[in-house]
Amino acid sequence: MQHNGYQNYLEDEILRAAPLELVQLMYRGALDRIAAARQCLRSGDIRARSQSLTKAFAIVHELSSSLNHTKGGELSKQLAALYDYVERLLLDANATQTEPPLIEAERLLSTLLDAWASPAHPTNPVPHMQESTSGCSDLSFAC
């Protein structure tokens, strides 16, 4: 499999990223894929639109799957519900081939990215990663 320079850079960035940076990268990745899907929708490229939405869905699903509901409590439950809503928006946009669900998904994910990018207040939850028994990292929150 051949990689270009950008792919190598991105892989290096992901491998060196701290847990908070990984979450931000995931949000940016989902937002990039949604933007690409919107462009494909406008140009009529059905296959590329579907591929972009599939990737965005996979990223949001990974964000949801990595929540630690034991440590995250109510916040992780609220995030899970929000991720579920975004997933449904992406499915709806793909099925109906319309842009409004994509605009809503972008708005929500942008708001979440902004929240993760803002300096943490001492009373705000602090994200951290925890190794799960499956070998995958679980996103959890320590309050």
**Structural domain contains residue 96:** yes
- Domain span at residue 77? 5-117
Distance, CA of 83 to CA of 85 (rounded, Å): 5
Give ∠ CA 133-134-139 in degrees, rounded to 5: 80
**Structural domain contains residue 122:** no
Q: What is the pLDDT of residue 4?
A: 77
Round the average pLDDT of the chain to a whole number and report it: 81
**Structural domain contains residue 138:** no
Q: Could you tell me the two tokens for 117?
A: 């990018």
Distance, CA of 81 to CA of 96 (rounded, Å): 22
Please tell me the total count of domains within the chain. 1
pLDDT-above-90 percentage for the chain:
59
Average pLDDT for residues 115-142, to the nearest whole number? 48
Give tens-digit pLDDT for 88-123: 999 999 999 999 999 999 999 999 999 988 765 344
Distances (CA, A) of 1 to 7, 8, 45, 52: 11, 12, 25, 20
Distance, CA of 49 to CA of 33 (rounded, Å): 9
For residue 129, is pLDDT > 80? no
**Structural domain contains residue 126:** no
**Structural domain contains residue 133:** no
**Structural domain contains residue 31:** yes
Distance, CA of 86 to CA of 76 (rounded, Å): 15
For residue 89, which of 77, 78, 98, 76 has the smallest C-alpha distance? Answer: 98
Q: What is the pLDDT of residue 27?
A: 96
Q: Could you tell me the two tokens for 29?
A: 């990745």
**Structural domain contains residue 141:** no
For residue 14, is pLDDT > 80? no
**Structural domain contains residue 123:** no
Report the CATH number at residue 40.
1.20.120.340
